[in-house]
Chains A and B, each alone.
Chain A
Amino acid sequence: MLLGIRRLEGDCIVDITKHELVPKHEILKDAEKKAVLEKYGVTESQLPKIRSSDPVIEMIGAVPGQVIKITRKSQTAGEADYFRLVVK
């Protein structure tokens, strides 16, 4: 409950996903998730993790077990994709 700015009595007063410092978060479909795991040759638990209590995760309504694709700005590559597993 970030200083009460993000939510006030359950309602969002600021859409943090619109903030310029918050990169784009998307929920992967099951098939996409499988493809990602296969591409990197990893199990779910070897992916970086993100708490389900993370403000953005709460915002986009992802649940534990889902994988989030984050499109970040990158100094070297312009844009870089990251994948994180939602936990707990």
Chain B
Amino acid sequence: MVSRIKGISFSILTPEDVKSLAAVRIVTSDLYDVDGYPVEGGVMDPRLGVVDPGLHCRTCGAGIGDCPGHFGYLELAKPVVNILYTKAIYKMLKISCTKCGKILSKPEDKKASKELGRNPPSKCPHCGAEQGKIKFLKPNTFYEEKEELSPQEIRERFEAIPEDELKRVGFKGGRPESMILTLFPVSPVTTRPSITLESGEKSEDDLTHKLVDIVRINQSLRENIDIGAPDFIIKDLWELLQYHVTTYFDNELTGIPQARHRSGRPLKGMIQRMKGKEGRIRGNLLGKRVNFSARTVISPDPRISINEVGVPDVIAKELTIEVPVTKLSINHIKELIRSGKANYAKRPDGRRIKVTDDNKEELIENITSDWIIDRQLTDSDIVLFNRQPSLHRPSIMAHRVRVMPGKTFRISPQVCPPYNADFDGDEMNLHALQTEESRVEASELIDVKNNIISPRFGGPLIGLDLDQISGMYLLTHGDVKVSRKETANLFGRAGIDIDLPDGRKEFTGKEIFSLLLPRGLNMDFKANCCKQCDKCIGDACKFDSYVKIKDGHLLQGAIDSSAVGALKGKIISKLHGIVETEEIKNFIDNAGRLAVAFIARRGFSIGISDLDLPEETLVKVKKRVDLAEKHSNDLIEKYNAGEIRILPGMTKSESLESQILNVLAEGLNSVSEIVKENIKDSDILTMTNSGSKGSLINATQMAACVGQEAILGQRIKRGFFNRTLPHFRKGDLSAAGHGFVKNGFKQELSPTELFWNIMNGREGLMDKSLRTRKSGYMQRRLVNALQDLRVTTSLSVKNSNGEIVQFKAGEDGVDPAKVQWSDKE
């Protein structure tokens, strides 16, 4: 029976609806009899649907999965309000006449029912009856002039409202009396399956618990009415029934104590099932769990390619790819089955057979070219790889599988920037692609090698990092000479298959690097180690900081972060358009491995003594710091004398603070200069110069002076009354008392200085978490607003209705990923 849905209308279930929907009348609160079988007429009645595998439904005859479940109904001894309609009930009570049931306005009066509800007349315009004032006491009681209205009375009133009067105020979707429940629909068991624990004990769903409560109280209420119990007992039971029905719908209402499980955990009501992140809407309909996926911790492997991913063998054995058996592939597939690399075989009749050691010979016998097998993941399969939060396109890229021992995904540290991954416990997801089409699409569009350039700013997302840059810098800076044998070793260790030019006994580091470059590459740029001279003399740079590449030969200059670094590498970006992406990928792989091979051979270490400064330099530093402190003291004196220079738009004390911050920052800058001039050459300098890690400021803070610690961009001022810490006098304005740290980390911080430093550290921590949360939400809203915009063939941007949003994408129609990139600006 196929029919087409014309439309959907929403309305309130009437008691007649409830009855006609139901397959069972619920009469008892018992679930199971002594033998463990569900009781007929209980809320687990077998006619309510099947949840146990192998059984068939007593109502529709279908098995598990096919039977949708069937409602039951419970006759309530007394009506109760449906808590979800209290607002509508309140309004309806207010605008309808107590006596005749008509709406409290003349039909010709066009006054909106909204206004009517706010300010109902005290006299019925139809029958002239006086109207009592209706009050609503949350969550579920209604009063008319101090007199409580029972659900029964409310229901009777609503029944009296004529149909055309309802139409007049726009009450759609049935009768208002349906908002008071008389027949309670008991949801199918399929909506609340019970779980059988390992011990054989049955554990029921929250809703089942709730239904049992409702049925039980209903029974006892009915019995009490029948024996003519006193009113207060009946009222108590009625209220209890109302409570249970209410919490069945919504167990998070204010003013109603939450219904709890025996363990003390609040039960989940109907509303709780729908609501929120893990509710039905956001958790199950907008987002789903997926098959053919894996998740585990990531760890680095600098020896694999950027578009590979090391997959643990246990995962590779579990993830499968469907392959059809064909005349051409049958022998290969038989081999797969024989070696245990196929998990399932599917016969043409759709039956799935698990491949085991026992049946594989039989399968190999029987398999024909219309079978399909589920093959395990193997090397060079293409898979999608993802790290959350997926903030931009390169958060999901396609990698090639490399099956490895171990339990973590292995990725090249060079693909960390696009995923924003590190290895402090990050986990990533992997999805095995199931169709030929998806695999082709993935390899053409989202393979890592085709996503080296960021679609956001057009620069490289992927490049060398950390020791790779240090190594490259050490190799190419100045005239490093490497013997032929050592060069061959270097390439060997890096796993690069290359022919060294004949007849050379020795190679320079620049020549070695040049072997990785393609012919036809011509570039000129300033390296990261550039000293920023006042006047650049280009070619003649005596710091070897001016990089010159001609036809793929590095003639001069050191290769550092601005040449090959992630997010900066000029060479990487320039290679686009000269060679294929495959070769760029190889260049990044090879350069990284070569650099690591070199730095491993040379050795690389830093220590605290690298930050030793000569005695006279330390004296100089101390002098400069003292001078800065003196300047700030001078300012404080001026301030106290009322002679402080007042800056535009600031109060006196603000001007003081600002000027103190300035003189102290100035002091730290000069200290930085002193450190820069006098620090000895070491691997720390290698790192700062090449841009692999750290900066001059880090070095200064360690070697000489930490400087001002700030909270919210201000000197530290919170703490005790009129002072920051008890170590200072009240009203003290000095630098030392407000977060200035004059020592370097390598000397020692005084107790107060350490305190400032920790305060600053804590602020940084808080800031980070607050910022990510806020920006995450902003991003989410932006994505939701923009998600269905697309760039069409005419370069215009349209939404899903074909309406034009922008006539040319970005107004200039330029794709940043496809234009020559420069890091200027």
Binding site for B on A (CB under 8 A): 39-43, 45-48, 74-77, 80-83
Contact = CB atoms under 8 A, between A and B. Distances in A.
Going nearest first, the 6 A-B pairs with the smallest beta carbon separation are: A77-B812, A80-B811, A74-B811, A76-B812, A77-B811, A46-B803
B792 A81 contact: no
Given A42-B802, A46-B801, A77 B794 contact: no
A71 to B, nearest CB: 11
B811 A76 contact: yes
A76 B813 CA distance: 9
Contacts, number: 44
Nearest to B805: A48
Interface string B792-805: 10101010011111
Given A46-B798, A77-B813, 20 more contacts: A40-B792, A40-B794, A40-B804, A40-B807, A41-B794, A42-B798, A42-B802, A42-B803, A46-B802, A48-B803, A48-B804, A48-B805, A75-B811, A76-B810, A77-B811, A77-B812, A80-B807, A80-B808, A80-B811, A83-B804
B814 interface: yes
A85 B798 CA distance: 16
Contacts of A77: 808, 810-813
Interface residues of B, number: 16
B335 to A, nearest CB: 53
Contacts of B811: 74-77, 80
A40 B805 CA distance: 12
Contacts of B798: 42, 46
Contacts of A82: 807
The B contact surface, by secondary structure, is loop
7 contacts: A46-B798, A46-B801, A46-B803, A75-B811, A76-B812, A77-B813, A81-B807
A42 to B, nearest CB: 6
Contact of B814 (A45, A76, A81, A83): A76
Nearest to B794: A40
A47 B801 CA distance: 11
Interface string B779-794: 0000000000000101
A45 B801 CA distance: 10
Nearest to A43: B802
A33 B808 CA distance: 17
Contacts of B803: 42, 45-48
A32 B305 CA distance: 54
A76 B807 CA distance: 14
Contact of A41 (B792, B807, B810, B812): B792
Contacts of A76: 810-812, 814
A62 to B, nearest CB: 18
Given A76-B811, A77-B812, A47 B794 contact: no
Contact of A47 (B792, B804, B808, B812): B804
B812 A74 contact: yes
Contacts of A42: 798, 802-804
A52 B711 CA distance: 53
Contacts of A74: 811-812
The residue in B796, B798, B801, B812 that gathers the most chain A C-beta atoms within 10 A of its C-beta is B812
A42 B792 CA distance: 11
A78 to B, nearest CB: 8
Nearest to A81: B807
Nearest to A76: B812
A75 B798 CA distance: 21
B793 to A, nearest CB: 8
Nearest to A77: B812
A80 B796 CA distance: 12
Contacts of B796: 40
A43 B798 CA distance: 12
